[in-house]
């Protein structure tokens, strides 16, 4: 499509090029907005900091939670990192309802951009927001003396996992937005989703502590795989329960399915 990529080539390559181009146009728009008003990111960072300092501080004294080779604060940090991404992502859909009410969304829908690129672009942008949280949480964790790995695989892997994990939940959020269509209903559903997703995961306690039924639910929760991969990447001497490759594969598959669903529903949000 774009004349920036003009040379004749296979149709599928054109489609792929067009898809990637449009995805990143949406990401660019979102990032530009963020740069104009970064205040939101700072206020958003307060909650994970409280979890780390207050919740982590108290539970580290309990010493009743089997966290293996690391202390509880170490164990908690990747969980809180994933959680802060989740909390941002799960309410991301409300921005789409807002844009629909304003009319901005219609502009995108009338452009030649594939619907799936519009959805994935939003999702990745939510992931980048999650990334900014990661930097703050990481900084604070190091400041309060949490022992974290800082190797090259950590520096590369952690941002990727955060973006991927947040993108999964942002797409889920877009689907909810397309279904409920009003901000009021969305807030209700958002609240309803957040805590179960958080508690039915290994974010603040290991899977081994859970009763059987909860373990089954958390095995279907993408957050579990995100936290699993983050722990392996961030903590010294900890390896992934499911293997990092499997963790990433589960999340990629979840993202693909959700993006397909969301791009079907996306045009309906304007009705």
Partner 1 sequence: MPAEKAPSQGTPAVETFELTRRFGAHVAVDHVTLTVPPGAIFGLLGPNGAGKSTTLKMLTTLLEPTAGTARVAGCDIVRDPQEVRRRIGYVPQLLSADGTLTGYENLLISAKLHGLSRAQRRERIAQALKFMGLEEAAHVLVRRYSGGMIRRLEIAQAMLHEPEVLFLDEPTTGLDPLARRAVWSHIRDLRQRYGTTILLTTHDMEEADELCDYVAILHRGRIAVVGPPTTLKAEIGPEASLEDVFARYTGGEIVEGGTYRDVVRHRRTARRLG
- Give me the residues that bind partner 1 (CB under 8 A), please: 1-4, 6, 18, 21-22, 25, 28-29, 32-33, 36-37, 101-104, 106-113, 267, 270-271
Rg of the chain on CA atoms, in Å: 19
**Pick 1 or 219: Cβ nearer partner 1:** 1
Closest CA to 162 of 86, 110, 244, 91: 86
**Pick 2 or 191: Cβ nearer partner 1:** 2
CA distances in angstroms from 242 to 159, 207, 219, 230, 238, listed in the order given: 19, 12, 10, 12, 12
**Pick 16 or 249: Cβ nearer partner 1:** 16
CA distances in angstroms from 150 to 75, 127, 147, 157, listed in the order given: 16, 21, 10, 11
Closest CA to 99 of 157, 51, 33: 33
**Pick 37 or 62: Cβ nearer partner 1:** 37
Distance CA 44, CA 126 (A): 13
205: left (phi > 0), else alpha (psi -120 to 50), else beta? beta
Nearest approach in angstroms of CB 115 to partner 1 is 10
Nearest approach in angstroms of CB 12 to partner 1 is 16
**Pick 2 or 150: Cβ nearer partner 1:** 2
Nearest approach in angstroms of CB 270 to partner 1 is 6
**Pick 27 or 82: Cβ nearer partner 1:** 27
Are the C-beta atoms of residues 158 and 230 closer than 8 Å to each other?
yes
Nearest approach in angstroms of CB 112 to partner 1 is 5
Distance CA 32, CA 205 (A): 37
**Pick 35 or 143: Cβ nearer partner 1:** 35
């Amino acid at each position: 499509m774009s004349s920036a990529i003009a040379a004749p080539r296979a149709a599928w390559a054109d489609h792929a090029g067009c898809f990637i181009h449009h995805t990143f146009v949406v990401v660019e728009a979102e990032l530009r907005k963020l740069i104009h008003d970064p205040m939101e990111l700072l206020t958003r960072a307060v909650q994970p900091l409280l979890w780390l300092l207050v919740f982590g501080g108290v539970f580290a004294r309990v010493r009743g939670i089997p966290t293996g080779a690391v202390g509880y604060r170490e164990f908690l940090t990747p969980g809180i990192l994933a959680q802060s991404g989740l909390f941002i992502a799960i309410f991301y859909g409300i921005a789409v309802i807002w844009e629909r009410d304003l009319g901005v969304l219609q502009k995108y829908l009338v452009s030649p951009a594939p619907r799936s690129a519009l959805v994935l672009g939003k999702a990745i942008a939510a992931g980048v927001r999650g990334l900014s949280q990661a930097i703050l949480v990481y900084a604070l964790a190091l400041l309060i003396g949490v022992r974290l790995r800082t190797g090259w695989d950590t520096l590369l892997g952690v941002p990727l996992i955060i973006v991927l994990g947040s993108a999964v939940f942002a797409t889920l959020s877009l689907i909810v937005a397309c279904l409920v269509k009003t901000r009021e209903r969305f807030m209700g559903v958002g609240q309803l989703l957040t805590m179960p997703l958080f508690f039915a995961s290994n974010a603040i306690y290991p899977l081994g502590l859970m009763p059987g039924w909860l373990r089954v639910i958390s095995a279907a929760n993408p957050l579990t795989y995100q936290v699993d991969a983050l722990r392996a990447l961030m903590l010294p001497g900890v390896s992934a329960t499911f293997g990092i490759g499997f963790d990433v594969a589960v999340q990629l598959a979840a993202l693909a399915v959700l993006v397909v669903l969301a791009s079907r529903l996306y045009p309906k949000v304007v009705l």
